[in-house]
Amino acid sequence: MPRHAQQRVSNRPRRSAWAVVVGGIGELLLTAGVLVLLFVVYIIWGTGIQTAQAQDKLEDELSVQWGQLDSGTAPPDPDELADGDAYGILRIPRFGDDWEFTVVQGVQPDDLARGPGHYPNTANPGEVGNVGIAAHRSGHLSPFAGFPDLRVGDTIEIEMADGTYVYALDDAPDGDSNGNKINISDVWVVDPVPGEPRDTEPTERRITLTTCWPRFGSSHRMYATGTLVSGPSG
């Protein structure tokens, strides 16, 4: 070996075993950090792209359903829609003048990945009973990201084939990030008469919105609820 090569080797400081371990841990943490960042990017943007595409398809499906009215054919009965079918259009002015989502029938993960979902076996807009709507706060375009900002008196609009139904909230988080927080098992909020036995006969036309708590988690739920104030028939 040439002398200058021997000199370079002999002058190079040796890394201790501890330095090797620390370096390895650092590389693992760096890799883990990159993976977490990529996961967050996917949750926020990747799932949003998928949901945006699904929303386009749901809009087209709804146009076909409601377009049947022009030909004198009645659109599908909401009670006969299958999970995953386009249901209606949801607007919440508190979230912005241009905030609008097509609602899908069903609240299973695959359904909510497409947009806000209507709880099966809950009332349809305008009916006596309780209309249940759920949506994500993070990922999938985050429809209910601003859920804690909902306040008593805010209006919730649902457009169906026969017109638009408007509800006014009488119970909401009112700006409290922990407001109206409930356990996942508290499904009573979407019962026909919330807080009463499920077989209680409803007399009001209500709506209940639910979402996850905290925003980037799902250990609990949040809800807001209100009553019908106007509809197609007056």
Q: How far apart are CA 104 and CA 24, in angstroms?
A: 48
Which of the following is catalytic: 4, 140, 212, 220? 212
CA distance 93 to 196: 30
Q: CA-based Rg of the chain, rounded to a whole angstrom?
A: 26
- Rounded Cα gap, residues 223 and 134, in angstroms: 9
Our answer to whether residue 212 is catalytic in this structure is: yes
- Strand duo 117-118 + 155-160: pairing: unpaired
Q: Answer yes or no: 220 catalytic.
A: no
From the candidates 4, 118, 136, 140, give the one annotated as an active-site residue.
Answer: 136
Measure Cα distances from 106 to 17, 191, 195 in Å. Answer: 57, 16, 22
Enzyme catalytic residues: 136, 212
